[in-house]
Structure 1
């Protein structure tokens, strides 16, 4: 980031915090970073605190929740700027919340949006390449998240950091401040059995580790996990019979692999709607996404996702290269996403699952010249099924 722009973001963060009276000082604030699973981890953690009778506020890419008031996050940002976070924290104070749970992104850290928030704890879900164009390299992307951990470690609140064991990708985070770091293990039996539980095992383990640190009883943690039904656009089942239909936000090779692998245990085959990366970003992963789909799917439909100013056909051609590398030929290219959804549903057999990835709960498709086409993946699926 250019120095002057960085200074501007820093100054704006200070101004916003001061304008709202530094509200984080009157809350217990937990920040969750990582590549995938941040929103789900926050939702699980909020459920654990609420199950224990503790009033919470939550800010994620899916929801803005203050006490009992829950709304969809329509800002288009997981970690909104322009004073949004400080205003959210002040609302949490006024609503009598004890905890504020905040999603922390690498780009938000670059823009100093975590500054002047007094964090009591921070956790990382996982780490894999993403936003390479924005950061310049995977190392720079990782370093932005490390900068958040270092900032929390310097907090005057006796903070705690949470890092999973046996995961080399996140081991640098455990080295930030070993004396205040809790290493936790993956607990596969925490979540109820099934695809939803398997995909969210890491998220549940992190949420449980943090909840335990703050004194939530084990039986309360278990009760909250049993009540969890997922988030919109995160392994969201639109239909289960005669074939499953699942909408998910997965848009990296790693998250796509985990999603497909979990669903294959419950379904005889997968029919996949795949759009890969948005235009002008993360081009490295396009063929890799195709390779993953070729490995796990019986049939695939390549389609549009968020082309921005890039040629949509060129994007799916890049994904197609992954198919060709695996000599996978059971696919079609259908640029219109509505038509692609209908084609995939028409191809599904009883006992299989149609898996639509990339959009999740997003409310628009980003097209050329800044045009945003209103969109709801689940509503489009329901219309096609009706």
Structure 2
């Protein structure tokens, strides 16, 4: 059925499709739910939305629920999971087509999962992918400008996020909950929806906390906890997951134990360790705010920073901003290719380079060579930070072409070469 609708879409004039697009996507979403017989009604579904922190919060919350003995499913940027079965997300999108999420939820129900955790995006909202998912709870992490070209303005981006909150309000589930970051300027708006249980959270809820070289410590429910995760942003992510887990009666002792054993998340401040005497970090940071927060984790270290920016006309405003942040925080900057799509990759990098006012950067278009150079010039105690892709499995080029890619794998390979050369 979905393939038939897609063929009809291809035959339509573009302007006609744009006119009926909302109806088209609504129908697809309804069909997906109908074909799999509205699976979200049979399982506890937790949605997570926001600009940053969704994936980390999904993974931490999943660890808490599993520690409490629950069987879980999840759908997110990093992976899809039903029980112990995992599939890497290679779609280059967080919420794949409407039928995919409904099928995953049906598999979760049939496999006996009690919880499903779903990352929910504003771009998914544009295509009604949030519809017909009956939510029990929603976590709002934060909001910063992103996908502005897709939405038309920041206000419409916020509006799309709030539609997810409204879907929680309309859900026929009982004992619904909203968990919202009130340190974010938009946090109160998410608490305005009509649900029984509202959990505002703030950094104050984690005090006293400490950001350490190889992790953090924080307080939750008057209990001191330790984590291998780094950065203030992860304190927020842990808080969000903790409040949500507590709502579903997970004991604080289980939260503490799970957090202590949680080793980290691929592509999210991921440490690449091959025995070298300097840090190599891979992170998904692709917005100015997230980039700055990653750099701040290593504020006491000399930083060699590898970054680029997505093409295809996407969020062009970010390019100069991210270059300026790199200039502020990094001792050496290497600008490189990321996902040019249909844009000239060199033009993207030149646009970033014009925002750097001092000659401490170089341009190496080949991403592998850029990573190689960063590792080559690193000294003892330095930190090489490779951002923009995280676990993205492809470099996207013109006309839908793609090259298989993994920043962490390439970093390991280049580290191994240099280590072998020096032995």
Give the TM-score range, shorter chain. over 0.9
Further displaced range: 299-308 or 184-193: 184-193
CA drift of 1:194 comes to 6.7
* CA deviation map 1:70-101 (0-9, x unaligned): 22112222011140001000100111100000
Q: State the alpha-carbon separation in 2 of the partners of residues 308 and 27 from structure 1.
A: 38
How do 1:182-197 and structure 2 match up within 5 A?
A: 182-186=199-203, 187=206, 188=209, 189-190=218-219, 192=226, 196-197=230-231
Measure, in 1, the Cα distance between the counterparts of 2:70 and 2:228: 29
SS of the equivalent of 1:83 reads helix
TM-score by length of 1: 0.95
Aligned pair 1:361/2:391, yes or no? yes
- Does residue 155 of structure 1 match 2:171? yes
Q: How far off its partner does 1:180 sit?
A: 3.8
Alignment of 1:1-386 (within 5 A): 2-158=18-174, 159-177=176-194, 180-186=197-203, 187=206, 188=209, 189-190=218-219, 192=226, 196-239=230-273, 241-265=276-300, 268-324=301-357, 328-386=358-416
Moved more, 196-205 or 91-100: 196-205
Unpaired runs of at least 5, structure 1: none
After TM superposition, give the deviation of residue 115 of structure 1 in Å.
0.9
**Alignment deviations for residues 209-250 of structure 1 (CA, whole Å, 9 cap, x no partner):** 100111001111111111112221111111263001011000
CA radius of gyration, larger in = 2
The TM-score with structure 2 as length reference comes to 0.87
SS of the residue 2:73 aligns to: strand
Deviation per CA, 1:153-176: give whole Å up to 9, x if none. Answer: 111113211111232133322223
- Going from structure 1 to structure 2, the CA distance change for 1:193 and 1:93 (only over 3 Å counts) comes to closer
Q: Which runs of 5+ in 2 are unaligned?
A: 1-16, 210-217, 220-224, 417-423
1:55 Cα offset (Å): 0.7
Question: CA 1:296–1:61 in structure 2 vs 1: closer, same or farther (change >3 Å)?
Answer: same
What is the root-mean-square deviation in Å for CA atoms of aligned residues? Answer: 1.6
Q: How many residues align?
A: 381
Deviation at 1:313, TM superposition (A): 1.2
Mapped to 2, the partners of 1:199 and 1:210 lie a distance apart of 17
